[in-house]
């Protein structure tokens, strides 16, 4: 992929969907956003969030990110998202182009890889199916932070309306307590489940994100929280 500077204000990316001679014309800021998204997607298998783009570019608000994404879509650099999801950003003029005068390193996408252990499988109404030899899972820096983190593979569709599908990997922060409304890994009488958590006095409600499933209520003494959902990993083939 060839990148050239035009009039000090625009970058031409060869192979783009629009522009003169098959080139895609982007301003330096648009190109920086494009390159960050492409690099992040190439490394992690999914696009960065608006907040990650905002931090990388030093923008003041998520609204500024939304405007920048809209500009890239109008210029044909990003494919429109069929679900309008903030992590469905697909560069059309694919590549890791560089410009010595304008392009800058994709810092957020090129940080040293971090890993957490994949401990097992969580499914509604079953104990956590532990993996004998936990394997490392590579995660983006945005999912790291204070506290112990681990990954579980989801089995079933009880949280599908929250975008959590059968086979997804979830990132969990180990915890013994949670605020109302948080999605937690909970154990009830030795059986594990992934549900939204609500406390009602001496009762605990575990609520699925699936209209076909009814909420479940238990005495608080029977429910043990093992962790709080903080992220989701999904790779598209």
Phi, psi of 45 (to 5 degrees): 90, 0
Burial class (CB in 10 A: 0-12, 13-18, 19+), 156: buried
Same domain as 65, residue 168: no
Asked if pLDDT for residue 201 goes beyond 90, the answer is yes
Structural domain span for residue 176: 114-233
Classify strands 129-139 and 149-155 as parallel, antiparallel or unpaired: unpaired
> pLDDT for 117-169, tens place per residue?
999 899 866 667 766 678 888 888 777 778 899 999 999 999 988 888 888 89
Same domain as 121, residue 153: yes
CATH of the domain at 67: 1.10.10.10
Same domain as 119, residue 61: no
pLDDT of residue 45: 67
CATH of the domain at 151: 2.10.109.10
- Domain annotation covers residue 170: yes
- Domain annotation covers residue 86: yes
* Confidence category of residue 31, pLDDT binned at 50, 70, 90: confident
* Confidence category of residue 186, pLDDT binned at 50, 70, 90: very high
- Domain annotation covers residue 217: yes
For residues 97 and 2, is the Cβ–Cβ distance under 8 A?
yes
> pLDDT for 84-112, tens place per residue?
444 455 555 433 333 333 333 344 444 45
Same domain as 161, residue 71: no
Q: Which of 99, 195, 221, 237 is catalytic?
A: 195
Same domain as 212, residue 126: yes
Residue 195 among the catalytic residues:
yes
- Domain annotation covers residue 98: no
- Determine the distance from the C-alpha atom of residue 111 to the mean position of all C-alpha atoms in its chain, rounded to a whole number: 16
- Domain annotation covers residue 102: no
Q: What is the pLDDT of the chain when averaged over all its residues?
A: 75
DSSP label at residue 111: S
Q: Which of 61, 158, 221, 237 is catalytic?
A: 158
pLDDT of residue 100: 32
pLDDT of residue 23: 47
Listed in sequence order, the DSSP H helices in 18-143 are 28-44, 50-57, 62-74
pLDDT of residue 55: 85
Same domain as 40, residue 9: yes
What percent of the chain has pLDDT above 90?
A: 28
Q: How many domains does the chain have?
A: 2
Same domain as 26, residue 125: no
Task: Calculate helix-pair angle for 62-74, 50-57, nearest 10 degrees.
Answer: 100
Residue 99 among the catalytic residues:
no
């Amino acid at each position: 992929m060839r990148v050239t500077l035009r009039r000090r204000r625009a970058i031409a990316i060869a192979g783009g969907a629009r522009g003169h001679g098959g080139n895609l014309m982007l301003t330096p800021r648009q190109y920086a956003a494009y390159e960050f998204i492409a690099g992040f997607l190439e490394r992690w298998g999914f696009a960065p969030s608006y907040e990650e783009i905002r931090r990388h570019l030093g923008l003041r608000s998520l609204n500024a990110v939304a405007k920048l994404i809209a500009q890239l879509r109008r210029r044909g650099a990003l494919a429109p998202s069929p679900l309008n999801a903030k992590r469905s950003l697909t560069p059309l003029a694919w590549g890791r182009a560089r410009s010595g005068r304008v392009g800058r390193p994709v810092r957020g996408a090129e940080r040293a890889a971090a890993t957490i252990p994949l401990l097992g499988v969580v499914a509604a109404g079953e104990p956590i199916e532990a993996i004998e030899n936990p394997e490392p899972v590579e995660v983006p820096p945005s999912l790291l932070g204070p506290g112990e983190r681990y990954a579980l593979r989801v089995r079933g569709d009880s949280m599908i309306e929250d975008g959590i599908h059968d086979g997804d990997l979830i990132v969990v922060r180990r915890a013994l307590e949670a605020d109302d409304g948080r999605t937690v890994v909970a154990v009830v009488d030795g059986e594990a489940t992934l549900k939204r958590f609500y406390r009602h006095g001496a009762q605990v409600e575990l609520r699925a994100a699936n209209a076909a499933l009814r909420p479940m209520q238990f005495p608080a003494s029977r429910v043990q929280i093992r962790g709080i959902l903080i992220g989701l990993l999904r790779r598209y083939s």
